[in-house]
Amino acid sequence: MSSKGVLLFCFDTDSCAYHKMAERCVELIHKNLALPITMVTNPQTRKRFRPGIDVQFITHTNETGNTRGGHQWHNLDRCEAYRLSPYDTTLLMDIDYLPFTDNLLQYMDLCDDFLIHDKIHDLTGKNLYDFQRRSIIPMLWATVIVFRKTKRSQSIFEMVKYVKKHYRHFCNMYRIDMRNFRNDYAFTIALNQINGNTKQCFLPGKLPTLPAAAKVKEINEHGVVFVYDQTMISATHNQDVHVIDKEMYRV
């Protein structure tokens, strides 16, 4: 019988306690997805997790050097997911993706060996994510990926490593104006290089996202309460949410 599980990467920075965000994500995975969880983290971050958290830890010394908005951004190790995952079928998620539903379970049994989102849904309704003019290649969203242990999947992750090593070259090639390393573009480029004329299958639907302009005020068992444009107070309900705002977890 093939194994299935969730793989998460979590590395605290000087400015953000990402482990607290990961703990919230883990709670929701256990509640709504009921899948085993493997957490990749460094020794410093691992010590900060609450005792008894129900995950399997993999201790990993992460790469450093990337930044976003002037802060450390430890996002350089996602290309190691294929090598580190102990599962035959892996749900690879960002820790700021909160699964308030069991929707992701339906993709764990599909025959496709690599699935990623190609569309995003701005939960503020303002359609703030329009990156068409920022590159000549439509950007994919690496927040949630489902992959199986196949030669093709392995090739994709190996290509992401290559893209990361030569990221500036690929930014010039695809006219990408976001020059700090982004997994979204790295996986986009890798799939473009690997697939050739083969059509890529994507995760159905759109990635539900609260942009950074939506300030999170509360996360409860049913959803996220947020303020947008200083006046609009709203909340999600029984809706998976990718939360960009990290102010709740700032050090």
Which of 87-91, 121-125, 127-131 bottoms out in mean pLDDT, i.e. has the lowest?
Answer: 127-131
Please report the pLDDT score of residue 110 as a whole number: 86
Give me the domain span that covers residue 135: 4-212
What size, in residues, is the chain? 251
Contact assessment for residue 138 and residue 132, using Cβ atoms and an 8 Å cutoff: yes
The percentage of the chain sitting over the pLDDT mark of 70, rounded to a whole number, equals 99
Please report the pLDDT score of residue 14 as a whole number: 95
The rounded mean pLDDT for the chain is 94
CA–CA distance, 77 with 19 (Å, rounded to integer): 16
Q: Is the dihedral of CA 110, 115, 119, 120 positive or negative?
A: positive
Q: Indicate if the pLDDT at residue 69 is higher than 90.
A: no
Composition of the chain by helix, strand, coil, percent to 5: 30, 25, 45
| 251 part of a folded domain | no
CA–CA distance, 23 with 117 (Å, rounded to integer): 24
Q: Indicate if the pLDDT at residue 86 is higher than 80.
A: yes
Please report the pLDDT score of residue 189 as a whole number: 95
Please report the pLDDT score of residue 229 as a whole number: 84
Place of tokens 């996220």: 224
Burial of 70 (0-12, 13-18, 19+ CB in 10 A): exposed
Please report the pLDDT score of residue 134 as a whole number: 80
Indicate the pLDDT class of residue 36, thresholds 50, 70 and 90: very high
* Overall average pLDDT of the 207-218 stretch: 94
CA–CA distance, 35 with 180 (Å, rounded to integer): 33
Please report the pLDDT score of residue 33 as a whole number: 98
Indicate the pLDDT class of residue 231, thresholds 50, 70 and 90: confident
Integer CA distances (angstroms), 16 to 31, 51, 113, 147, 224, in order: 25, 20, 34, 29, 19
Helix (H) or strand (E) holding 89: strand 89-93
Bridging pattern class, strands 232-235 and 224-228: antiparallel
* Overall average pLDDT of the 16-20 stretch: 97
Residue 115: CATH number of its domain: 3.90.550.10
Please report the pLDDT score of residue 126 as a whole number: 84
Please report the pLDDT score of residue 233 as a whole number: 82
The percentage of the chain sitting over the pLDDT mark of 90, rounded to a whole number, equals 84
| 228 part of a folded domain | no
3-class secondary-structure state, position 190? helix
| 177 part of a folded domain | yes
The residue ranking higher by pLDDT, 131 or 32, is 32
Q: Indicate if the pLDDT at residue 219 is higher than 80.
A: yes
| 205 part of a folded domain | yes
The structural domain count of the chain equals 1
Helix (H) or strand (E) holding 209: strand 207-210
What pLDDT, in 10s, does the model give residues 140-172?
Answer: 999 999 999 999 999 999 999 999 999 999 999
Please report the pLDDT score of residue 148 as a whole number: 97
* Overall average pLDDT of the 161-190 stretch: 95
Q: Indicate if the pLDDT at residue 237 is higher than 80.
A: yes
- Give the residue from 116, 21, 135 showing the smallest Cα distance to 74: 21
| 237 part of a folded domain | no
Provide the 8-state DSSP code for 60.
-
| 81 part of a folded domain | yes
Contact assessment for residue 159 and residue 193, using Cβ atoms and an 8 Å cutoff: yes
Q: Indicate if the pLDDT at residue 16 is higher than 80.
A: yes
| 45 part of a folded domain | yes
| 231 part of a folded domain | no
